[in-house]
Amino acid sequence: MEAALNELVEYVDGMRSSVAEETGFDPIEHILARIKSDESMRDKCRRKGLPETAESALNELYDALGVRIVCAFLSDVYAVRDHIAVCPHFSVIEERDYIMHAKPNGYRSYHMILRSDEGYYAEVQVRTISMDTWAALEHHLQYKKPHVGNQRLIVQELKRCADELASTDVSMQTIRDMILNEEE
Ligand code: 0O2
């Protein structure tokens, strides 16, 4: 599993360097890669009503390997997605565009499930800095148990923040495009 994860990360690193050399822009802010811990795998199996076995963790769940790629701009997210889609030794099993189709709570990210030639599954999440910030803060808040009376307002406010950040992403992309067009 470690070898498969390293191969994926090395591919992304290689792509990152060649794009930066070609265009002068590094399309990636940072990358995180992890093998899901035994405890998290067991938790997820329980949540999904699956037996806590290696078989379910590796073949019924698709995120034993996880890579999160954070980009500055929206266009970079889709450029990175296109590169990952042709990663040698991995096939794309599923894609979910939670950017075009945000989750009802406001969560945005581009998700890809890949399968390595050896049969390991990897979930790749590609998102902007804004999307990553929102997901991190929302994740923190999941551990707080809000007073039931406030629950609706909290959900609404989180969604409002996600939508404002999404609108900022579009504005920042527009500014970047204007600068690039002027340079040309
Ligand atoms: P962890 O601990 O981050 O690994 P489904 O296939 O729809 O039944 P699944 O398999 O959870 O559900 O897929 P989904 O919804 O695409 O989510 C996969 C991962 O995306 C999650 O992994 C989270 O990392 C992230 N994610 C999805 N929705 C949200 C959200 O609303 N808020 C935040 N902060 N992250 C989200 P895990 O296994 O849930 O958790």
Does the CB atom of residue 89 touch ligand 1 within 6 A? no
Site to probe by mutation for ligand 1, drawn from 96, 103, 107 as the one with most ligand atoms within 8 Å of Cβ, is: 107
Question: Residues 6 or more apart from 62 whose CB is under 8 A from it?
Answer: 93, 94, 113, 121, 122, 123
CATH class entry, domain 2-132: alpha beta
111: CA distance to ligand 1 center in Å? 10
Q: Distance from the CA of 133 to the center of ligand 1, in angstroms?
A: 15
Q: Which amino acid is at 173?
A: Q
Tell me the per-residue pLDDT of 109-120, one tens digit each, with 9 for 90 and over.
999 999 999 999
Task: Average the pLDDT over 154-172 and give the result.
Answer: 96
**Residues 6+ positions from 61 with CB-CB distance below 8 Å:** 36, 41, 44, 45, 48, 50, 121
Interval 46-68: pLDDT, tens: 999 999 999 999 999 999 999 99
Nearest residue to 103 via CA among 78, 88, 82, 125: 125
Q: What is the mean pLDDT of residues 94-114?
A: 98
**Which atom from ligand 1 is nearest to the alpha carbon of 135?**
34
**Residue 94 Cα, ligand 1 centroid: separation in angstroms?**
14
Q: pLDDT digits over 133-156, tens only?
A: 999 999 988 876 666 678 888 889
Q: Whose CA is nearest to atom 14 of ligand 1?
A: 111
Per DSSP, the three-state class of 32 is: strand
Per-domain boundaries in the chain: 2-132
Closest approach atom of ligand 1 to CA 105: 31
pLDDT digits (tens, 9 = 90+) for 30-49: 999 999 999 999 999 999 99
The answer to whether 121 and 63 are in contact (CB under 8 A) is yes
* pLDDT of 162 strictly over 70: yes
What letter represents residue 97's amino acid?
Answer: D
